[in-house]
Structure 1
Amino acid sequence: MRPFGDKTGQAIVLLLIAGSGMVAIARGMSLTFLAIRLQGDFGLSPAWIGVLIGTGPLLGAAISPFAGTISDRIGRRVVLVTALLFAGLGLVGLGLAQSVAAFALAHVVSSVSAAVYEPVSRALMSDAAPERLRLRMFSWRYLVINAGWAVGPMIGLAIGANSPLPFVIAGMVHFVFAAAIFAVVPAALAERAGQAAPQQAPGLRRLGAALRDRRLLFYVGGGTLLMAVYGQWSVTLSQYLTTNVDDGMKIFAWLVTTNAAVVVLATAPARLVIEKIGPLRAMVLGCLLFLGGELGFAVSTNAAMLIGFMVLFTIGEVLVVPAEYVLVDRISNDGNRGAYFGAHSLSSVGNFIGPLFGGLALGAFGGQGMFMLFAMLAAGSAVLFAIGHAAPPPATSDGAAIDATGEIAGEALHRSHRPAFA
């Protein structure tokens, strides 16, 4: 049962989509230039810059699963508002920091807060949107986020990449979004959650219950491999191009532009494909496109080939991102959706794994070896998602399987003449 009426739910969904786009612009105009600020203002080496920048997302991946379970108990609004306020404070701190220690603290606060925001905002969108529209909502959200990250760096350059102003403005954007969520999202859900808390399992137990769902475990594993392939593709690809290809930086800029343009143009057609063939087939197709793109990068001998295979790679990206969210949404219910999306956010560890192992492969085996590694990860991800989709739902204490709505699967099958978890 949806906790919001149609009008309120529509307002919440539109706010989350618009706000996510504004947050993406804000983070793009500021965080894109973290390395420049660390090198220019503090004189850190590339190795230390990598360690400092990677620490925040790694801690965020460890903490974000608990955000979903907490939001299931006390409500999405309070968690989202708190996360956005702290994210804004962290960004302002990044702009004003005068020491490495202060900068590191602000970066950790910003990264962890962003990691908390992501799964809870997705869970709130699922709460607010009718099931038939969730794929469309996730696709639109993904579109505006990518558009924001494409526009944000250009705004940051115009303001001044070496100044604290982009960070301060980005923080203010987060504060405004937090105020909007507080004003638009009703507190009724949080109150109901608080009243129901005595009958609900504690947060850690609910998270543990989510992680005992074999379907979710395979989705987390597949998502981790996927995130390693596409989550930080610009880091590994830029290293390869700038050290192995003539005019590598110029070609890399063209590839970034190609990626952003294809995301904008292909998101709507990709949603239609997912609706037609289903999220699992779309996920497998996207993984195969990733595989083809990586193999194409390995054999490319000129800029035109690289751009062509980037188009292939990006089409895979616009298929897998919304399809993955729909797969997770379909195995959760209103009572555990936050826990499921929170547990699924563990897959963001791939943002750390990809650059690490990609860099190691690049150093040991060259670009071809690195691209082959990512191709194998894409293939492995498709296998894990297929296994997870085929796995049965978790069983009750008497051995009966429970579907995503909380019904005994056999009873639902008897009434509807189809598997409840299809």
Structure 2
Amino acid sequence: MSAAAGLGWATRATRETVSGLPREFWWLWTSTLVNRLGGFVATFMALYLTMERGYSASYAGLVAALHGLGGVVSSLGAGVMTDRFGRRPTMLAAQLSTAVSVAVLGFMVHPVAIAAVAFLVGMASNASRPAVQAMIADIVPAKDRVRAFSLNYWAINLGFAVSSAGAGFVAEYSYLAGFVGEAAMTLICAVVVFLKVPESRPQKAAAARSAAGVPSDDGVRLTTVLRDGRFMGVVGLSFVIALIFQQGYVGLPVAMGADGFSSSDFGTAIAVNGVLIVVLQIPVTRFIRSRDPRRLLIASSLLAGYGFGLTAFAGSVGLYALTICVWTVAEIINAPVQNGLVVQLSPAHGRGRYQGMYTLSWSAAALVAPLMSGVVIDHFGAGWLWGTCALLGTAAAFGYWLLMRDLPTGAEDGAEVAAESIAAPRATDAPAAPPAVEQAG
């Protein structure tokens, strides 16, 4: 293929991937990109606490755990707010709270104050995710949702890749500037949402249920979500998959350090993850959008598990990077497809609560993964950790096969209604609301 032909193919592929999505989605996508471009705290908190403030690695780990715990706490509450008060108010409240708490964190000195504010930052920064995901589902037609979630995921990783490099230079100048910069970017994100992103909560669903005498907000409670066996199965499998992927950031650097590699070696290897996502997300999205989601989720689970499993045989930076390539492909496939499945199983009037429960699975994995990797590596060795990842990936693949054997595959609105009836045990006999025409992580 000539260079001109290759460029023409890439141009057509990009056009087909990005065309046809609502204008509101692109404003939401822009806010996601801006938000991730300002990322600083999650990337440099450990270095800030140990190098700038002089605290121990154990204290830095405690603060990171409290930051993650804040995300766990806010997941379900933000989901309820998303359904009850709307997607847009929840996003604005979360973004404004994040901006204030991040700026305050930069000025904290006392260890108790730092830990407390880090917990609040974790709560605030995680609270927008259910609202964003629910809004994407609201404003994007069913047939385009996997593509939309994939593009949103691409924006997250593009922003992260750029911000990680830029924030490194900022940190050399002033860590405080990094905190203030993230606060400013989050405020810009809130302004974009306020000016350009309208509320998308399905109103017809609320009106229909109100006319039928259903309780005031939407008829879906957290207990409804917990009783939804198929959806909670997806949440459980999501936790397993997230537990595997988290090892790339908690288990892998420890294992490479134990093998005598430096932090720069780890940085070089893990950079492959971000580069591949930015380069491959759009062409892979084009490839998977008409594929069977069952097979995609099973294949991505196996790739994730055995990609990490192969790490047991890595002995050089190049081989570590090669294993990262394998599980990065799994990540690229799994993220948008699994998001699409969550939407398919969520009733339109309860998307916030369903997305909140789904977000909780990733937040819980972020808490458990460091403990898991530390215990396994300390007591059995890194090889056992990578073998465990392979077993978890296999179990997740089998779980997806079981859960999705009789799930309708259509992406049309009629299939969405059918999925709604599967997903949510109704609290009343009120008729199901019509699906809405269909959000930064």
- TM-score surpassing 0.5? yes
Which secondary structure does the structure 2 equivalent of 1:277 belong to? coil
Tell me if the contact between 1:280 and 1:327 (Cα under 8 Å) persists in the aligned partners.
no
Which secondary structure does the structure 2 equivalent of 1:301 belong to? coil
Q: Of Structure 1 and Structure 2, which has the larger fraction of its residues in helix?
A: 1
Q: 2:161 aligns with which of 127, 150, 153?
A: 150
- Cα 1:117–1:213 change in 2 (3 A) is same
Once the two structures are superposed, the pairs formed by residues 106-121 of structure 1 within 5 Å of their partners are 106-121=117-132
- Cα 1:194–1:81 change in 2 (3 A) is farther
Once the two structures are superposed, the pairs formed by residues 17-416 of structure 1 within 5 Å of their partners are 17-27=29-39, 29-161=40-172, 162-187=174-199, 189=201, 199-200=214-215, 206-231=221-246, 233-245=248-260, 247-348=261-362, 349-390=364-405, 403-406=418-421
Alpha-carbon distance between aligned partners in 2 of 1:279 and 1:311, rounded to the nearest angstrom? 21
Tell me if the contact between 1:20 and 1:141 (Cα under 8 Å) persists in the aligned partners.
yes
Letter in 1 for 2:389: F
Superposed CA RMSD: 2.7
Shift of 1:229: 0.9
- Cα 1:71–1:49 change in 2 (3 A) is same
Letter in 1 for 2:188: V
Shift of 1:327: 0.8
Alpha-carbon distance between aligned partners in 1 of 2:108 and 2:66, rounded to the nearest angstrom? 17
Tell me if the contact between 1:214 and 1:391 (Cα under 8 Å) persists in the aligned partners.
no
Letter in 1 for 2:85: I
Alpha-carbon distance between aligned partners in 2 of 1:47 and 1:314, rounded to the nearest angstrom? 29
| TM-score, with structure 1 as normaliser | 0.86
Alpha-carbon distance between aligned partners in 2 of 1:381 and 1:47, rounded to the nearest angstrom? 32
| Cα distance per residue 1:62-85 (max 9 Å; x no partner) | 331232222112211111100000
Alpha-carbon distance between aligned partners in 2 of 1:157 and 1:346, rounded to the nearest angstrom? 30
- Cα 1:303–1:392 change in 2 (3 A) is closer
Tell me if the contact between 2:250 and 2:373 (Cα under 8 Å) persists in the aligned partners.
no
Letter in 2 for 1:175: L
Alpha-carbon distance between aligned partners in 2 of 1:293 and 1:232, rounded to the nearest angstrom? 11
Unaligned runs of 5+ in 1: 1-8, 394-401, 410-422
- Cα 1:190–1:279 change in 2 (3 A) is closer
Shift of 1:189: 4.3
- Cα 1:249–1:186 change in 2 (3 A) is closer
Alpha-carbon distance between aligned partners in 2 of 1:308 and 1:121, rounded to the nearest angstrom? 33
Alpha-carbon distance between aligned partners in 2 of 1:352 and 1:206, rounded to the nearest angstrom? 26
Alpha-carbon distance between aligned partners in 2 of 1:408 and 1:313, rounded to the nearest angstrom? 30
Deviating more after overlay: 346-355 vs 375-384: 375-384
Alpha-carbon distance between aligned partners in 1 of 2:373 and 2:422, rounded to the nearest angstrom? 44
Structure with higher RCO (Cα < 8 A, 6+ apart):
2
Letter in 2 for 1:122: Q
Letter in 2 for 1:339: R
Shift of 1:202: 5.9
Tell me if the contact between 2:246 and 2:366 (Cα under 8 Å) persists in the aligned partners.
yes
Shift of 1:182: 1.7
Shift of 1:192: 7.4
Tell me if the contact between 2:31 and 2:190 (Cα under 8 Å) persists in the aligned partners.
no
Shift of 1:204: 9.7
Tell me if the contact between 1:22 and 1:173 (Cα under 8 Å) persists in the aligned partners.
yes
Which secondary structure does the structure 2 equivalent of 1:403 belong to? helix
Letter in 2 for 1:364: H
Shift of 1:406: 4.6
Tell me if the contact between 1:294 and 1:313 (Cα under 8 Å) persists in the aligned partners.
yes
Q: How many residues are paired up?
A: 393
- Cα 1:381–1:300 change in 2 (3 A) is same
Report the counterpart of residue 3 of structure 1 in structure 2.
none
Shift of 1:308: 1.4
Shift of 1:117: 0.7
Confirm whether residue 12 of structure 1 aligns to residue 5 of structure 2. Answer: no
Alpha-carbon distance between aligned partners in 2 of 1:210 and 1:380, rounded to the nearest angstrom? 23
| Cα distance per residue 1:21-76 (max 9 Å; x no partner) | 2211212x343111122123443221221111111212322331232222112211
Deviating more after overlay: 203-212 vs 332-341: 203-212
Report the counterpart of residue 399 of structure 1 in structure 2.
none
Shift of 1:332: 1.5
Alpha-carbon distance between aligned partners in 1 of 2:164 and 2:376, rounded to the nearest angstrom? 29
